[in-house]
Amino acid sequence: MARVELNVSLNRVEGDLELAVTLDDGVVAEARTIGTMYRGFEQILIGRAPRDALVITPRVCGICGTAHLYSSALALERAWGAVPPPNATRIRNLCLMAEGIQNDLRQTFLFFTPDFCNPRYAAEPWFDEMMAAFEPFRGAIYLETLAVTRKVVQIVAHFGGQWPHSSYMAPGGVTLPADLRRISACRAVLDDAQRWYEQRIIGAPLERWLALDKAEDYFAWLDAPAHAASALGMLSRCVRALGLHRSAAGAKHMLSYGAWRDPATTDADATLLASGFYDGETGAIAPLDQTQINEHVRHSWFRHYEGGRHPWNGETIPNYEPGGDRYTWSKAPRYGDKVVQTGPLAELLIGGDPLIASLNALEGGGAWLRQFARARRIAHEFLHARRMLDQLAADLSGEHFIPPANEADGDGYGLIMAARGALGHWIKIKDGVIEKYQIVTPTAWNASPRDSAGQPGHWEQSLVGVEVRDPDDPVEIGHIIRSHDPCLVCTVHMLDTGRKVHFNA
Amino acid sequence: MKTLFWLQTGACGGDSLAILSAEAPSFEQLFASCGIELLWHPSLSHAPMKRFDALIENIASGAQKLDILCVEGSVVTAPRGTGLYDSYRGRARMEITRALARRANIVVAMGTCASFGGVHAASPNPADCIGLQFDRETPGGLLPADWRAGSGLPVINIAGCPAHPHAMTQTLEAIAQDLPLALDPLNRPSAFFSTLAHQGCTRNEYHEYDIEDLELGGRACLFYNLGCQGPLTQAVCNSDLWNGVNSKTRAGVPCFGCTAPNFPRETDLFATAKIGDIPLRLPVGVERARYMAYKNLARAAAPARVRNKKMDV
């Protein structure tokens, strides 16, 4: 048996990723994910004024800063007992949805589909079609995506002043109310983007697309010419032809913090799409319990502790130990000590999208279904963004900001579904300043290393069994890792010493 | 055609995403019609990484011409000056940056991180971050103060967190066309750093009459109480609106001074430090005594529509 140790680097993943992969006869037997950058955000926050988190944490990530800002604002609100008025929640949701549409389109058509324009596939019957649509800086859908996403983020700018990186959400609400001018401008942007999505991406009106609820109906739908010629139609046929719907399922369990706060209630935990933990063994969905979240460091270069620690008790104290079985600076987040995956597939499955549930029941998760769920989520984002605008228009005199009544010391957390999945911020405020801040990002869940029990993280699991034909151009690994929408800059704990590491299982 | 290589060091990707919002010219226009050939961009290139490896090798050896090197992100120098907290295949990115800069005709720092260190260099600076040719406001970052690129220019600092989309694409267009590029004392292209963020702010009338907000969420000026750095910050945010539609201060978000070498300030970012009633730092060039006399008069003269914050922003 030919055993090869392969170090794989990947671009187009928001940040940089290196993977240490063991191939047995060309098939991945083991994988370890290694982040290559350490910046120390959590340390920078300690000792600062609590609101500074609203400025510092969006800078964790340039593509999902709104989600970090939202988590920060929720964490401060929980610590201070502040309740945002309904219109503030509507504006926050609207901005998060716009950022989500931006992310889901760019992730799909700037980061994921370019792999199908790889010369490796030049002889495939679908190659010319994929090039015409998706070739970077040339393909029709690629160029249209650049134009459409540029407009969509205007929605965030209307309320936040700019995208990326602003700080317009604060404990108590948002800095700017809706008015007729902003609502009208946002609606125009949304209309155009939705029309493009309907005509070019799915080939049908939004309502018909969202009404599609069974796997077999989707496969039949793909045969209709308009649907077959749509970007998602082409992509589905191509990705399924490569068998990517049957590979790389990864972790069975899934986690969602629930998409978008419900503006109709003051219950900070109520969301428009349900939160929960999907048990991959039983198919049951249990209510979310944030006390079940912990982080392990057994295989990470941090000061040792036993088992997992909840983020409020967490610590980030580097402890580099070369030569042993610790191989990364990423912590291993777990839910009730279980390995989970998170992202649009988890969000829609737990949130109750029947088509995603049906496809998952029929074929299980895989690279195709993860990417498909991301494209599908855009429809939910359009639908709910329009609802937020309609509700704002109907309640223009509603408040948008209620200053916190007291800013006492305390603990808080903010849980958000970012574009890439479950994002949590945990804060402790003491003597009026930040005593502790811990961030657990979606990519930390998905890219986690082994934990105390030796369980590999989600990516590490999803790569096992994948056949790699050309170690110089491991496009198969690209398909799978990029289907997770990885964001290495988000993985704030990660750090690499640059040494090639070997994991001894 | 001028070749462009975009390198990310300790970055969040924010400048890459901001540049996608540029419209005149857009990022893609730089390659379609402005005479720039994109050799590599980490988020957008679709060639396999072996192409990246070959490029850095060929540029470093001189076999591949490099006209424009764009660097996004802080230069990470930890631990102990090795730079290995930010590595690529075991090699410090700090070293890759140095090797490429040596061969580039022009080096552009995209954003405040690459210019001055940025957020990652905030206290306690856990990764020992610096800028390309500045360490905060001090000349000399990764490259010494007297370092010059092939063109004779120092590192061009397009500061901002993120950099303004048009400050990036319009500078690149000017470089592609060999237009002269005037720089300010912080080596920022003067064209984008000769106005204050304050100029063009729709809250200016409130500022003139000294009608100030005490809490976020209001319509008035954010300078006196809420930490706004607009009158102290050179940036085009209010003269060339973000995403074509707005700016932070118009949206009621204080300007945090993100184009300055000291961003983020070490004090409470949502508060204005004062001596008595008077902000410690006054608008650029303003004399304290005259400013106070003028403010007292202005407040007394404020029309009711402004005093009562009736004017929309």
Do B35 and B175 lie in a common domain?
Answer: yes
Helix intervals (H) in A127-244: 127-134, 140-152, 154-160, 180-196, 206-211, 215-221, 225-229, 231-241
B38 vs A contacts (CB less than 8 Å): 137
- For residue A323, give both structure tokens: 């030569």
B55 vs A contacts (CB less than 8 Å): none
Write out residues 4-43 of B within 8 Å (CB-CB) of A. 8, 10-18, 20-21, 23, 26-28, 31-32, 38, 42-43
Give the integer Cα–Cα distance in Å for A417 and A259: 5
Q: Which residues contact B220 (CB under 8 A, 6 or more apart)?
A: B203, B206, B211, B212, B213, B309
Q: How confident is the model at residue B120 (pLDDT cuts 50, 70, 90)?
A: very high
Asked whether the beta carbons of residue A59 and residue B44 sit closer than 8 angstroms, the reply is no
* Option in B28, B45, B123 nearest A146 (CB): B28
Contact call for residues A457 and A450 (beta carbons, < 8 A): yes
Asked whether the beta carbons of residue B43 and residue A111 sit closer than 8 angstroms, the reply is yes
Asked whether the beta carbons of residue B269 and residue A489 sit closer than 8 angstroms, the reply is no
Residue that has been written with the tokens 């404990």 in this structure:
A171
Tell me the mean pLDDT in the region B206-219: 97
Do B32 and B62 lie in a common domain?
Answer: yes
B313 vs A contacts (CB less than 8 Å): 176
Contact call for residues A478 and A36 (beta carbons, < 8 A): no
Q: What is the pLDDT of residues B58-97, one digit of tens each?
A: 999 999 999 999 999 999 999 889 998 888 888 999 999 9
Residue A145 DSSP SS3: helix
How close A170 gets to chain B, by Cα (Å)? 8
Asked whether the beta carbons of residue B264 and residue A36 sit closer than 8 angstroms, the reply is no
Do B176 and B309 lie in a common domain?
Answer: no
Instruction: Determine phi and psi for B235, rounding to 5 degrees.
Output: -170, 155
User: Is the minimum CB–CB distance between B162 and chain A shorter than 8 Å?
Assistant: yes
Do B199 and B64 lie in a common domain?
Answer: no
B124 vs A contacts (CB less than 8 Å): 43-44
What pLDDT was estimated at residue A494? 39
A39 vs B contacts (CB less than 8 Å): 10, 74, 76, 120, 126-127, 129
Asked whether the beta carbons of residue A62 and residue B245 sit closer than 8 angstroms, the reply is no
Give the integer Cα–Cα distance in Å for A245 and A243: 5
- For residue A339, give both structure tokens: 């390995």
Amino acid type, B274: K
Would you tell me how many other CB atoms lie within 10 Å of the CB of residue A237?
Answer: 15
Q: Of B163, B191, B219, which marks where a domain is finished?
A: B191
CATH code of the domain containing B268: 4.10.480.10
B246 → chain A, closest CA residue? A161
Q: What is the pLDDT of residues B263-293, one digit of tens each?
A: 999 999 999 999 888 899 999 999 988 988 8
Q: What is the bridge-based pairing of β-strands A308-309 and A293-296? A: antiparallel
What pLDDT was estimated at residue B219? 97
B52 vs A contacts (CB less than 8 Å): 9, 11
Do B186 and B209 lie in a common domain?
Answer: no
Do B221 and B272 lie in a common domain?
Answer: yes
Asked whether the beta carbons of residue A475 and residue B92 sit closer than 8 angstroms, the reply is no
Do B226 and B137 lie in a common domain?
Answer: no
B42 vs A contacts (CB less than 8 Å): 11-12, 16
Write out residues 37-76 of B within 8 Å (CB-CB) of A. 38, 42-46, 48-50, 52, 74, 76
The count of structural domains within chain B is: 2
Contact call for residues A55 and B269 (beta carbons, < 8 A): yes
User: Is the minimum CB–CB distance between B296 and chain A shorter than 8 Å?
Assistant: no
A170 → chain B, closest CA residue? B216
User: Is the minimum CB–CB distance between A65 and chain B shorter than 8 Å?
Assistant: yes
What pLDDT was estimated at residue A36? 64
User: Is the minimum CB–CB distance between A315 and chain B shorter than 8 Å?
Assistant: no
Q: Of B139, B170, B191, which marks where a domain is finished?
A: B191
Asked whether the beta carbons of residue B243 and residue A59 sit closer than 8 angstroms, the reply is no
Asked whether the beta carbons of residue B91 and residue A185 sit closer than 8 angstroms, the reply is no
A20 → chain B, closest CA residue? B89
Do B240 and B311 lie in a common domain?
Answer: yes
Write out residues 478-497 of A within 8 Å (CB-CB) of B. 489, 495-497
Contact call for residues A27 and B115 (beta carbons, < 8 A): no
How close A204 gets to chain B, by Cα (Å)? 28
A171 → chain B, closest CA residue? B216
Asked whether the beta carbons of residue B17 and residue A175 sit closer than 8 angstroms, the reply is no
Asked whether the beta carbons of residue A137 and residue B16 sit closer than 8 angstroms, the reply is no
Do B12 and B25 lie in a common domain?
Answer: yes
Low-confidence ranges of chain A (pLDDT < 70): 14-16, 35-36, 320-323, 489-505
Q: What is the DSSP letter of A67?
A: H
Do B171 and B240 lie in a common domain?
Answer: no
Write out residues 206-235 of B within 8 Å (CB-CB) of A. 215-217
Give the integer Cα–Cα distance in Å for B290 and B152: 43
Contact call for residues A345 and A373 (beta carbons, < 8 A): yes
Q: What is the bridge-based pairing of β-strands A259-261 and A271-273? A: antiparallel
Give the mean pLDDT of chain B. Answer: 96
Write out residues 71-130 of B within 8 Å (CB-CB) of A. 74, 76, 78, 84-92, 118-120, 122-127, 129
Q: Which residues contact A266 (CB under 8 A, 6 or more apart)?
A: A83
What pLDDT was estimated at residue B267? 95
Residue B176 DSSP SS3: helix
Is a pLDDT exceeding 80 seen at residue B187? yes
Instruction: Determine phi and psi for A170, rounding to 5 degrees.
Output: -145, 160
Is a pLDDT exceeding 60 seen at residue B151? yes
Give the integer Cα–Cα distance in Å for B38 and B44: 10
Asked whether the beta carbons of residue B45 and residue A153 sit closer than 8 angstroms, the reply is no
What pLDDT was estimated at residue A495? 34
Asked whether the beta carbons of residue A62 and residue B17 sit closer than 8 angstroms, the reply is yes
Q: Of B191, B222, B239, which marks where a domain is finished?
A: B191
B48 vs A contacts (CB less than 8 Å): 118, 472-473, 475
Spell out a b/e string for B267-294, using b for 16 or more CB atoms within 10 Å of the CB, else e.
ebbbebeeeeeebeeeeeeeeeeeeeee
Is a pLDDT exceeding 60 seen at residue B22? yes
- For residue A311, give both structure tokens: 């983020």
Is a pLDDT exceeding 60 seen at residue B255? yes
Q: Which domain holds residue B273?
A: 195-313
Tell me the mean pLDDT in the region B287-307: 93
State the pTM of this model: 0.96
- Secondary structure tally for chain B: helices H, strands E: 9, 13
How close A338 gets to chain B, by Cα (Å)? 29
B30 → chain A, closest CA residue? A137
* Option in A56, A176, A489 nearest B252 (CB): A176
A434 → chain B, closest CA residue? B268
What pLDDT was estimated at residue A323? 67
Helix intervals (H) in A258-409: 344-351, 354-363, 367-394
Cα angle A353, A441, A422; round to 5? 20
Asked whether the beta carbons of residue A37 and residue B23 sit closer than 8 angstroms, the reply is no
Q: E strands of A36-168, at which residues?
A: none
Helix intervals (H) in chain B: 14-19, 27-32, 49-61, 93-103, 112-116, 165-176, 204-208, 288-301, 304-307
* Option in B90, B129, B250 nearest A498 (CB): B90
Q: In this prediction, does ipTM exceed 0.85?
A: yes
Asked whether the beta carbons of residue B86 and residue A36 sit closer than 8 angstroms, the reply is yes
Asked whether the beta carbons of residue A44 and residue B256 sit closer than 8 angstroms, the reply is no
User: Is the minimum CB–CB distance between A149 and chain B shorter than 8 Å?
Assistant: yes
Would you tell me how many other CB atoms lie within 10 Å of the CB of residue A428?
Answer: 19
Do B116 and B239 lie in a common domain?
Answer: no
Write out residues 88-147 of A within 8 Å (CB-CB) of B. 106, 110-111, 114-115, 117-118, 136-137, 143, 146
- For residue B283, give both structure tokens: 């608008």
CATH code of the domain containing B137: 3.40.50.700
Q: E strands of A193-329, at which residues?
A: 253-256, 259-261, 271-273, 276-278, 285-286, 293-296, 308-309
Do B156 and B127 lie in a common domain?
Answer: yes
Asked whether the beta carbons of residue B87 and residue A44 sit closer than 8 angstroms, the reply is no
Interface test with B, best of A8, A38, A479, A482 (most B CBs within 10 A): A38
- For residue A315, give both structure tokens: 């610590």
